[in-house]
Amino acid sequence: MSNVQTHSLFTDFDINLFKAGKHYRLYEKLGAHLIEKDGIKGVYFAVWAPSAASVSVVGDFNYWTGGEHLLQVRWDSSGIWEGFIPNIGHGAIYKYKIASSIGGVITEKADPFSFYCEKPPHTASVVWDLENKWNDESWMLNRKKHNDLDKPYSVYEVHLGSWKRGDDGKTFLTYLDFAKDLVNHVKEMGFTHVEFMPVMEYPYDPSWGYQLTGYFAPTSRFGTPQEFMHLIERLHQNDIGVILDWVPSHFPDDAHGLGFFDGSNLYEHPDRRKGYHPDWKSLVFNYGRSEVRSFLISNALFWLHYYHVDGLRVDAVASMLYLDYSRNDGEWEPNIFGGNQNLDTISFLKEFNEAVYLNYEGVQTIAEESTSFPMVSKPTDMGGLGFGMKWMMGWMHDTLNYFKKDTVYRKYHQNELTFSMTYTFTENFMLPLSHDEVVHGKKSIFGRMPGDEWQKFANLRLLYGYMFTHPGTKLLFMGCEFGQSAEWNFEQSLDWHLLQYPYHSGIKKLITDLNGLYKSEPALYEKQFSSEGFEWINYSDHQNAVFSFIRKGNLEKDNLIIICNFTEVVREDYRIGIPKRGILTELFNSDAKIYGGSDVLDSKKVPIDTFPYDGRDYSAALLLGPLSVKVFKIS
């Protein structure tokens, strides 16, 4: 006889929404919930397993034996098994033991909706209460002013397991440690947002968190859910937004995970051409199944609701959009129109974005999408996918390819930099120098720079100055902000000792000042996604590898003049056209001594001459330091 009492949190309306794929709060119903029934405290369990013949809850409260706590299947063909187990509570460890009606298969699974998991390598779920007293009201009430598309958006991308480790070099820091050290660092550097590589529970460290088994649980490697909430709260209290990497694109086939959950292809697409990812040897969600869509959208909203998250960066969108992604001929099937687009995915992504923006004001979704798929960051009512922003992968590849070239040859490749301006305003682009660019033999960003030590650092300063003055929001991976020289290694801390050396500390000072410039100058963010915010002065001086442009804000007085010298040759009396009379006041110079530069300095005030140049009535003669970018304002 089962020691489970009949109970349900589901209404008929819930079930109808679930079956239709429109239930976006499934985390309130499925999973393990602490309740009181007839004066007795216990846990209500509910799990979706339509192909099961029986489902038992096994755990540390019944010696992991099946049959003692059997759940009951609902009568409504929803496939949900549920029941109340009295006298167990917070901290109970459990799994679902599922006997399938298909071939007698028995699986033992972690709860797809568990709020907390055992610390890897253990794989069970933990009953947990997410109640928390938040103290970030000011941020939550005003975050729209921080998060809008016409605001500065400078993102520090972090892998928590390797940002910094304990004194022994091996021990993970905790969420509480990060709430001090990481918050202080990000605030000092002036970043507006932190983006965490996936914090949802994952079994395998080398996956960096991109192979998830606990979609609703922050990894227990660093502490409890409430401790992760405290980290987010501390960031908010310091006016720093929080973005989470979210992985709806694929999941691992670990025995305790979502794969083959009830003996059937429940979460994954049953057709291997759509349900298996050859690159990552992982399973792909069935985006056309209503209940799976409810699971995924509920998961996205869960992090926005319970953890006060300000944005979701969606991983591997390109792999979701195309049926032939990483597949050869014969390994994929065209859609009903004969094309290669995954129509179920497109529909799902639109629905996901609509749900996010409808339910949470002041948040953003960001797509990591590397193809020319149209209108990724345009509203769904215009025919777009509905994301707030899209990573500008083309800019990243072209820019890094240009910068690795010896300066002697750059005059032949200037179009690699100027080309981005032909498509910059087709999407709301974020410029990423992410973790993917500092692994697998690619070298660190610093390591890609050519020349001797001084030239490498000068090139790096120039790259960052160009990045921060180019239209679009910014993302920089941890370690890049001080010129980490080695490739990123997920198994160890960043090389913080490098900050004792002047060139590295100079890069840190440079990024701090660039963040300050970005936040203080409206011309760098008010029209960052509009062609009205940019104008070339001269992009055709290939011979000298110099170009210049104007960034524009809502008010003409805020406009900035930017000039970049991509060689180590000092340019004296370098003339550029200026749109009006006045004086050029220098706001930033990457060649300054405080950054490790050569200190080839012009006057901080440069007169504008009544001398036509570059098709303009006025001009100014500037002194350009080697491998440098300068920013001016007209006064």
**Residues involved in catalysis:** 315, 368
Is residue 120 reached through a cis peptide bond, with omega within 30 degrees of 0 on the bond before it? Answer: no
Residue 150 tokens read as 């016409």
- SS3 for 632? strand
Sign of the torsion angle spanned by Cα atoms 524, 526, 529, 530: negative
- In sequence order, which residues have a C-beta less than 8 Å from that of residue 497 and are 6 or more positions away? none
Rg (CA), the chain: 27
Please report where in the chains the tokens 């060649």 appear, as a residue: 591
CA 318 to chain centroid: 15
* H-helix or E-strand spanning residue 624: strand 618-624
Instruction: Please give the DSSP secondary-structure letter assigned to residue 112.
Output: T
Distance CA 236, CA 544 (A): 45
Distances (CA, A) of 6 to 2, 16, 92, 265, 338: 11, 21, 20, 28, 49
Distance CA 528, CA 333 (A): 40
Q: What does DSSP say about strands 154-158 and 193-196: parallel, antiparallel, or unpaired?
A: parallel
Residue 51 tokens read as 């192909």
Of 27, 26, 10, 31, nearest to 77 by C-alpha is: 10
Residue 460 tokens read as 């790096």
Within 10 angstroms of residue 187's Cβ, the number of other Cβ atoms is 15
Please give the backbone phi and psi of residue 411, each rounded to the nearest 5 degrees, phi first: -60, -20
Following DSSP, what letter does each residue of 24-43 receive, concatenated? --GGGTSEEEEEEETTEEEE
Distance CA 284, CA 469 (A): 39
Residue 291 and residue 17 in contact, taking contact as beta carbons nearer than 8 Å: no
Of 549, 595, 546, nearest to 566 by C-alpha is: 546
What's the longest Cα–Cα distance across the chain?
Answer: 96
Angle (nearest 5°) at CA 184 between 180 and 185: 120
Residue 414 tokens read as 């200037």
Within 10 angstroms of residue 102's Cβ, the number of other Cβ atoms is 12
Angle (nearest 5°) at CA 580 between 576 and 583: 75
Please give the backbone phi and psi of residue 329, each rounded to the nearest 5 degrees, phi first: -55, 135
Residues pairing with 44 in the sheet: 33, 84
Instruction: Please give the DSSP secondary-structure letter assigned to residue 241.
Output: E
Angle (nearest 5°) at CA 53 between 48 and 56: 65
Give the up-direction half-sphere exposure of residue 598: CA atoms within 13 A in the CB hemisphere. Answer: 19
